[in-house]
Structure 1
Amino acid sequence: MADLHTMYRVMILYMLNQVEYPLTNTQITNFILEKEYTNYFTVQEILSDLISSQLITAESTHNNTRYRITPYGQETLGFFHVKISDAIKEDIRTYFVEHDFDLKQETSVYADYYKVPGEGYAVRCRIRNLETDIVDLTLHVSGRQQAEAVCQNWKKNHFPIYETLMDILLK
């Protein structure tokens, strides 16, 4: 069992090392489940282990967590990449080639909310390109349902909203 857990750890490190953007919990889990490498609970346990070992970092929002490999994780991967087969490495590379646009778009659009002192919520909507914010907009809404709706709608409609903002601001 320890060897399998090591292999899963290295697989996730390898995945995170293949891209320049963070991967979400959903993206990592979907890949591993689609390929039937292991089950959902094992993936979550491995992610937790990688965080506590400081091999990856996690940034959580209300609806998902994004992971990045740390320099220490990259160094560790350098030693242990032989724990996964060339076939698994090829599965990972192929997955990224086939899903590149969707993965980038999913991880470049952020929306989260938090309670502010007094009444209401602040909703932070962002579009990122690697480490650079293209849009970083914070809106105040009166209730949690509104905050959740803004988050969902930002993720669905970020591009037309961005275009409209730019059209208005650059007139």
Structure 2
Amino acid sequence: MNTEALTQYKLMILYLLHSVSYPLSNSQLSGFFLDNEYTTYFTLQQCISDLVEAHLISSHQSRSTTRYEISDEGKQTLQFFENEIPSIVKDDMEQFLSKNKLRLQHESSVYTDYSQTDKQDFSVQLELRESSSLLCRLDLDVPDEEIAQAICKAWKKKSGKIYSFLLSELVEDEENK
């Protein structure tokens, strides 16, 4: 793969990450590049890895996904070289983001992960975000992995409802005092 093409893909990744106010997962980035047949999966992964290593993007890994955000250094780099991205490619990226905005935001707003603790139980981490703001974070200890997996699955489906319930219960208790 020639260096110019790799540089182009890296700039495109930076542009996509800069265009949203929330992290994008590896599968979301892959979706754009592979659906539009810009490059192969392996080339894309190499470009992402290079960007992380150069501290132009940061990665946040969980059991089920890796999410990426552009760093300040990445923003500066993009500012210098954004004009190297052809306008037709920028249009493709803008169309992708516009067409998939709600799905991308929803997928990025709900985060789950779990890990085994020293006590041989499992620690479950749950988050709900709106853009880059953290709305709610719950850390739960549970006795086994099946329960941890079930909680993660349920959080993905019910996080908004649970968050609303928590707020209403906490505010209701405060008003009744």
TM-score by shorter chain over 0.5: yes
Pair 1:142-2:143 in alignment: yes
Match of 1:27 in 2: 28
Give the drift of 1:48.
Answer: 0.3
What amino acid is aligned across from residue 40 of structure 2 in structure 1? N
Quick check: 2:21–2:132 contact (8 Å CA) kept in 1? no
**1:94 counterpart residue number:** 95
Other-structure match for 1:63: 64
Query: Which structure's CA Rg is the greater one?
Result: 2
Confirm or deny that 1:166 pairs with 2:150: no
Moved more, 108-117 or 32-41: 108-117
| Partner of residue 18, structure 1 | 19
Q: Note the residue ranges of structure 2 that are not aligned, 5 or more in a row.
A: 173-177
Q: How many residues align?
A: 171
Q: Does the residue aligned with 1:133 lie in a helix, a strand or coil? A: strand
3-state SS of paired residue (1:170):
helix
RMSD over aligned Cα, in angstroms?
Answer: 1.4
Check the 8 A contact 1:10/1:81 in 2, yes or no: yes
Instruction: Note the C-alpha offset of 1:47.
Output: 0.4
- 1:17 & 1:79 partners in 2: Cα distance? 13
Q: Which amino acid aligns with 2:61?
A: S
Greater alpha carbon shift after TM alignment, 128-137 vs 84-93: 128-137
Tell me how far apart the structure 2 counterparts of residues 35 and 130 of structure 1 sit (CA, whole Å): 26
The aligned amino acid for 1:40 is: Y
Measure, in 2, the Cα distance between the counterparts of 1:78 and 1:95.
Answer: 21
> Which letter does structure 2 place at the counterpart of 1:144?
E
CA offsets 1:74-131 (integer angstroms, 9 cap, x no match): 1111222233210000111111111111111111111111222213111011111234
Percent identity (aligned): 36
1:36 matched to which residue of 2? Answer: 37
CA contact (8 A) 1:6 1:83 kept: no
Q: What is the identity, as a one-letter code, of the residue corresponding to 1:138? A: D
Q: Which amino acid aligns with 2:90?
A: K
Q: Could you tell me how far apart the structure 1 residues matched to 2:165 and 2:75 are?
A: 40
Shift of 1:164: 2.7
The residue aligned with 2:80 is 79
What is the alpha-carbon distance in structure 2 between the residues aligned to residue 151 and residue 140 of structure 1?
12
**Residue pair 2:105, 2:131 contacting (<8 A) in 1 also:** no
Distance 1:145 1:44 in 2: 31
2:100 aligns to what SS in structure 1?
Answer: helix
Relative to the length of structure 2, the TM-score reads 0.90
Find the aligned partners of 1:112 and 1:88 in 2 and give their Cα distance: 34
TM-score where L is the length of structure 1: 0.93
Aligned partners of 2:121 and 2:143 also within 8 Å: yes
Q: Secondary structure at the match of 1:76?
A: helix
